[in-house]
């Protein structure tokens, strides 16, 4: 059980939030009018996400009986409650929470006293000192399976990925095949593939734990390699025919085929239902199939990938919207460089060119042009029955991807915490280690607390998905909060490094630019808040 004070703070936040969500449902007519109240809907989505994280961290702390984790749970809950109260007070009419509810919850004198005590700067400084002592290393208790997975992933990531991470980033290299081969051996590409299809069937929690360790060593050259197979695996499990599962899942699990996910187009991003890339039914050399024509953008790993999971319009009637889209598995050759062209014997062409980015280097993200590129009929996910179901399957795949991104973001933030705790212990100014200064301790304490909250929200989402694969709300919340925390924690860590935080030879400068991409992909932050989280929270129950 969490401490009484933490429990009281969280209960008060939950009561105020639930009242605000009820009022939000009325205001938006059960979510139908979110677009007429976008700003308020975003506030509700974010507050609900933060309260869920406070609950996850305090639930975890209550079960392990560790003083630092207890302090983190209390401090995080207090900051969330303080922000929620200030948001409600600042926009009282919008939130629609009555005086009576506020007086009994976040406005209650004892609750406010508990909030002040729990978020007192001295509490954060205690946590920060502990981080300096332990160099921020994550040894948080976890069950035996999780522990084994964490130890083995950490050892691989530190020995084999970390030494290459800086070079890959600075020279914008492609992730070497040696990393892919070792990850294949360890079974990391088949974590969500059931054993009957050659996978590990490890479940979502272990997948997140392993992702964290890989991402701490390198976001793009290790942690993110798993995202694409996770998305395609979930799409195939949800909508693939039995023959497709048998054909594609074993080589995905074995790491024999690398995947890219191709949804975004130059002019179509968030409005996925408006995808324009066309798939026209046809025949080539007596084989039935589809000709793909059109442009795609930001397809990560498209060069090295052996297959692209591509969302294309099979029904040309624009009124068909999302129902006119189908998901294809598009085979291609693997190319190592930043640009490639693939010519099919029948005349189809696929051209790809990587768009340079400040971070997230190692996989390259490509703009693609398809010209009558032939794909056999059996590669439409779900075969004939899958026509028109691509949007739905892609969204289910994205839910899995978002959960994995909770792990990616937590791992990256963890790396920033560790490198910063080490730096603070060693760097001396004014005759003292900078970690001896109160403000550094306070900042490290807040960084560690936020990382712990991101981790426990991601684990809670993984457990929810282990129980019910449809737990898309929890996965979206984990992605939203962990990504923001990764951005905040890497930037705070950079400041603690001073000028050296801006030097490429210090890992923190890479962590900062890598983190910036996290709130953008798999549903850019405002879309995730409005179209996924707010919609799920405010929709009719
Ligand atoms: C490095 C990188 C890698 C990527 N990898 C992949 C990949 O592998 N596969 C893939 O398919 N895509 C990938 N993406 C693309 C990514 O998913 C998209 O960039 C993202 O979904 C947003 O789409 P957009 O860029 O077109 O932004 P837009 O949709 O144009 O949105 C821009 C902004 O407009 C505002 N906005 C838009 N619509 C609304 C609305 N309804 N209400 C309120 N505000 C709104 C928001 O502020 C939003 O942030 C990647 C992107 C990057 C940067």
| HEC per residue, 509-520 | HHHHHHHCCCCC
Residue 483 Cα to ligand 1 middle (Å)? 15
Residue 181 Cα to ligand 1 middle (Å)? 31
Phi, psi (deg, nearest 5) at residue 256: -80, -30
Residue 138 in contact with ligand 1 by CB distance below 6 A = no
Residue 302 in contact with ligand 1 by CB distance below 6 A = no
Q: What is the pLDDT of residue 541?
A: 55
Q: Enumerate helices (H) and strands (E) in the chain, giving the number of each.
A: 19, 10
> Closest ligand 1 atom, CA of 300?
8
Q: Residue holding tokens 């975003």? A: 42
For residue range 299-355, what is the model confidence (pLDDT) as tens digits? 999 999 999 999 999 999 878 999 999 999 999 999 999 999 999 999 999 999 999
Q: Residue holding tokens 């973001």? A: 409
Q: Residue holding tokens 């507050």? A: 47
241 SS3 class: coil
Nearest residue by C-alpha to atom 19 in ligand 1:
521
The tokens describing 242, both together, are: 């039995």
| Beta-bridge mates of residue 340 | 352
Q: Tell me the C-alpha distance between 456 and 146, whole Å.
A: 13
Mark the ranges of the chain whose per-residue pLDDT is less than 70. Answer: 1-2, 540-541
For residue range 91-113, what is the model confidence (pLDDT) as tens digits? 999 999 999 999 999 999 999 99
In percent, the amount of the chain with pLDDT more than 90 equals 96
> Closest ligand 1 atom, CA of 228?
8
Query: Where are any strands of DSSP class E within 426-496?
Result: 428-429, 432-433
For residue range 385-416, what is the model confidence (pLDDT) as tens digits? 999 999 999 998 898 899 999 999 999 999 99
Q: Tell me the C-alpha distance between 5 and 173, whole Å.
A: 51
Residues 6+ apart with CB under 8 A from 211: 223, 226, 404, 407, 408, 411
User: Could you tell me which of 423, 414, 449 has the C-alpha nearest to residue 121?
Assistant: 449
Residue 495 in contact with ligand 1 by CB distance below 6 A = no
Residue 522 Cα to ligand 1 middle (Å)? 8
The tokens describing 186, both together, are: 């360890």
Residue 505 is a catalytic residue? no
Report the predicted TM-score, pTM, of the whole model to 2 decimal places.
Answer: 0.97
Residue 530 Cα to ligand 1 middle (Å)? 14
Q: Tell me the C-alpha distance between 427 and 434, whole Å.
A: 6
For residue range 351-363, what is the model confidence (pLDDT) as tens digits? 999 999 999 999 9
Check 467, 522, 529, 540 and give the catalytic one. 522
Phi, psi (deg, nearest 5) at residue 388: 85, 0
User: Could you tell me which of 455, 478, 457, 454 has the C-alpha nearest to residue 528?
Assistant: 478
Contact 255, 184 (CB under 8 A): yes
Contact 454, 481 (CB under 8 A): yes
| Beta-bridge mates of residue 294 | 370
Residue 270 in contact with ligand 1 by CB distance below 6 A = yes
Q: What is the pLDDT of residue 3?
A: 83
Q: Tell me the C-alpha distance between 216 and 67, whole Å.
A: 25
């Amino acid at each position: 059980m969490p401490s009484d004070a933490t429990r009281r703070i969280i209960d008060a936040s939950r009561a105020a939030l639930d009242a605000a969500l009820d009022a939000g449902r009325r205001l938006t007519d059960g979510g139908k009018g979110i677009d007429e109240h976008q700003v308020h809907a975003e506030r509700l989505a974010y507050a609900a996400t933060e309260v869920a994280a406070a609950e996850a961290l305090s639930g975890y702390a209550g079960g392990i009986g560790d003083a630092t984790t207890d302090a983190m749970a209390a401090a995080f809950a207090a900051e969330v409650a303080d922000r929620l109260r200030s948001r409600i007070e600042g926009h009282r009419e919008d939130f629609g929470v009555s005086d009576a509810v506020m007086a009994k919850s976040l406005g209650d004198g004892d609750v406010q006293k508990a909030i002040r005590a729990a978020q007192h700067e001295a509490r954060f400084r205690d946590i920060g000192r502990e981080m300096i002592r332990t160099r921020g290393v994550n040894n948080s208790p976890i069950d035996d399976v999780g522990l084994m997975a964490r130890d083995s992933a950490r050892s691989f990531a530190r020995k084999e990925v970390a030494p290459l991470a800086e070079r890959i980033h600075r020279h914008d290299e492609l992730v070497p095949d040696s990393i892919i081969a070792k990850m294949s051996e360890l079974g990391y590409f088949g974590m969500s593939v059931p054993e009957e299809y050659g996978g590990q069937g490890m479940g979502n929690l272990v997948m997140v734990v392993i992702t964290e360790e890989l991402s701490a060593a390198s976001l793009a050259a290790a942690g993110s390699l798993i995202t694409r197979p996770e998305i395609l695996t979930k799409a195939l499990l949800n909508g693939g025919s039995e023959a497709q599962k048998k054909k594609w899942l074993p080589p995905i699990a074995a790491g024999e085929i690398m995947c890219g996910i191709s949804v975004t187009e130059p002019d179509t991003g968030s409005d996925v239902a408006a995808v324009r890339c066309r798939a026209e039914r046809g025949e080539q050399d007596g084989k039935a199939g589809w000709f793909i024509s059109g442009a795609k953008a930001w397809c990560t790993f498209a060069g090295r990938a052996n297959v692209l999971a591509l969302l294309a319009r099979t029904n040309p009637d624009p009124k068909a919207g999302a129902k006119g889209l189908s998901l294809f598995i598009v085979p291609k050759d693997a190319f190592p460089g930043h640009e490639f062209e693939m010519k099919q014997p029948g005349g189809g062409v696929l051209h790809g060119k990587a768009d340079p980015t400040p971070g997230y280097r190692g996989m390259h993200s490509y703009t693609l042009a398809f010209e009558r590129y032939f794909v056999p009929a059996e590669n439409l996910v779900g075969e004939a029955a899958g026509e028109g179901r691509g949007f739905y399957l892609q969204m289910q795949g994205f839910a899995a991807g978002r959960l994995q991104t909770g792990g990616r973001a937590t791992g990256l933030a963890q790396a920033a915490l560790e490198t910063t705790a080490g730096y603070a212990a060693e760097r001396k100014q004014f005759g003292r280690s900078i970690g001896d200064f109160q403000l550094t301790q306070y900042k490290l304490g807040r960084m560690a607390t936020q990382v712990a909250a991101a981790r426990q929200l991601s684990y809670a989402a993984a457990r929810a998905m282990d129980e019910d694969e449809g737990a898309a709300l929890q996965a979206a919340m984990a992605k939203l909060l962990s990504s923001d925390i990764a951005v905040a924690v890497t930037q705070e860590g950079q400041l603690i490094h001073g000028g050296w935080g801006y030097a490429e030879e210090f890992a923190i400068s890479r962590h900062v630019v890598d983190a910036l991409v996290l709130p953008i992909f798999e549903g850019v932050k405002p879309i995730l808040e409005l179209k996924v989280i707010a919609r799920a929270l405010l929709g009719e129950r």
